[in-house]
């Protein structure tokens, strides 16, 4: 007797433990097998792009904090780069170095969350997550030292940074940079060669090189598919051309590669911080920028390598104190477009793992 089954629709989210925010997946399942999914978002829409049109150029920086709220520094930096390009502002040397240090610290913090949450999605009951939060806490302490905030820093400003680092910052940073490689080794020892993790992540949710390029994926998702593309080297912004670092890439493009690429990225970020720390010159940290910036009529696009991928800001100026148009290119949203191709045919449990391996932040998707 042939048993007939028919697919049913399951709404995963917007309130679900593993959707990393208020994100909804309208999944069609045949038993345990995912037939189709439809990502539905907009639950966190705040209209950041429209809000930006009514604020001064400086006043928009706090808005960018709230886009990808676990990598605020990178968002600040991307926006400030765009404004500086638009208004032709030159940033002092010391400020450039501080920006790089903060951005790379923020990268490590964001990867810690990404990897921890991914392992949590694989079913490791919060242990890796807690281990990684232990070190993220140290980074957050460092960033609190310079900015006074622990999540939305609002530290990087147009023409530099908001204030110079306190004198206790560099010794603390040195200790952190010295300790961190040991902790990364510890994360590797935790689960890297674990049979269950290999079975769950290896070969699961493969995104081929062609697919990754065609859907304009960026960041670790793209690099895990074997594409050596990092904006820090492909189109160096700030002072990234002065540092020496490698671009870790994967080979297959499965969940395991994406996880490994993120761990390897942490080490590279540490290398950059190490170099920036030793080269850090004295001097002013902020250019003389008027309080109300009026950039000349024109447009500018600046992008950088955020933890999730290419984060871009497109600004159009009409010579007033607020941008005529501010468009944000969020890496999470673009990377998410590959989800449907990756999960079809896999099981519900894989759906969560693949989704976790893309590493999205809903604040950025919905804007």
Name the residues that contact another protein, by CB under 8 A. 8, 10, 16-18, 31-33, 119-127, 130-131, 134, 191, 194-200, 202-203, 347-350, 352
Closer Cβ to another protein, 200 or 329, answer by number: 200
Contact call for residues 285 and 313 (beta carbons, < 8 A): no
In sequence order, the 6+-apart residues with CB closer than 8 A to the CB of 143 are 73, 102, 105, 106, 109, 149, 150, 153, 155
**Could you say which DSSP state residue 255 is in?**
H
Minimum CB distance to another protein, residue 251 (Å): 16
Minimum CB distance to another protein, residue 227 (Å): 25
Rg (CA), the chain: 21
Contact call for residues 22 and 15 (beta carbons, < 8 A): yes
Contact call for residues 80 and 252 (beta carbons, < 8 A): no
Residue 109 DSSP SS3: helix
Minimum CB distance to another protein, residue 257 (Å): 14
Closer Cβ to another protein, 96 or 121, answer by number: 121
Closer Cβ to another protein, 178 or 198, answer by number: 198
Query: Phi and psi (nearest 5°) for 143?
Result: -70, -30
Closer Cβ to another protein, 30 or 144, answer by number: 30
Residue 40 DSSP SS3: strand
Question: In terms of DSSP H, where are the helices of the chain?
Answer: 48-52, 61-65, 72-87, 93-121, 127-147, 169-191, 195-201, 209-214, 220-224, 231-234, 255-279, 331-336, 339-343, 348-358, 362-366
Minimum CB distance to another protein, residue 200 (Å): 6
Minimum CB distance to another protein, residue 188 (Å): 15
Minimum CB distance to another protein, residue 246 (Å): 28
Q: How far apart are CA 114 and CA 110, in angstroms?
A: 6
Closer Cβ to another protein, 66 or 202, answer by number: 202
Closer Cβ to another protein, 40 or 349, answer by number: 349
Distances from the Cα of 366 to the Cα of 9, 25, 49, 66, 339, angstroms:
24, 14, 10, 11, 17
Minimum CB distance to another protein, residue 109 (Å): 17
Closer Cβ to another protein, 123 or 290, answer by number: 123
């Amino acid at each position: 007797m042939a048993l007939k089954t028919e697919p049913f629709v399951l709404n995963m989210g917007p309130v679900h433990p593993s959707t990393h925010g208020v994100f909804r997946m309208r999944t069609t399942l045949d038993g345990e097998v995912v037939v189709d999914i439809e990502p539905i978002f907009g639950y966190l829409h705040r209209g950041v792009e429209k809000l930006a049109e009514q604020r001064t150029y400086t006043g928009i920086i706090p808005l960018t904090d709230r886009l990808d709220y676990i990598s605020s520094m990178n968002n600040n930096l991307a926006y400030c780069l765009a404004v500086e390009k638009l208004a032709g502002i030159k940033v002092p040397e010391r400020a450039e170095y501080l920006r790089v240090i903060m951005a790379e610290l923020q990268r490590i913090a964001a990867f810690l969350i990404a990897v921890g949450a991914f392992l949590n999605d694989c079913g490791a009951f919060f242990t890796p997550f807690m281990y990684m939060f232990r070190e993220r806490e140290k980074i957050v302490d460092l960033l609190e030292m310079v900015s006074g905030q622990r999540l939305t820093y609002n530290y990087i400003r147009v023409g530099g940074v908001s204030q110079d680092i306190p004198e206790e910052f560099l010794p603390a940073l040195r200790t952190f940079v010295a300790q961190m490689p040991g902790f990364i080794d510890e994360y590797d020892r935790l689960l890297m060669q674990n049979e269950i993790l290999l079975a769950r992540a290896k070969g699961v949710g493969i995104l081929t090189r062609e697919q990754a390029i065609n859907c304009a994926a960026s960041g670790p998702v793209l690099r895990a598919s074997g594409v050596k593309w990092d904006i820090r080297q492909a189109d160096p912004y700030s002072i990234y051309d002065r540092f020496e670092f490698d671009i870790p890439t994967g080979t297959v493009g499965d969940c395991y590669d994406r996880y490994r690429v993120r761990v390897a990225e942490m080490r590279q970020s540490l290398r950059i911080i190490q170099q920036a720390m030793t080269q850090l010159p004295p001097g002013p940290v902020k250019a003389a920028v008027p309080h109300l910036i009026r950039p000349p009529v024109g447009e500018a696009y600046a992008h950088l390598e955020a933890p999730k991928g290419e984060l871009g800001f497109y600004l159009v100026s009409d010579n007033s104190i607020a941008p005529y148009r501010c468009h944000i290119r969020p890496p999470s949203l673009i990377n998410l477009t590959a989800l449907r191709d990756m999960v079809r045919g896999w099981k519900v449990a894989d759906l969560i793992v693949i989704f976790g391996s893309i590493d999205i932040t809903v604040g950025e998707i919905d804007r």
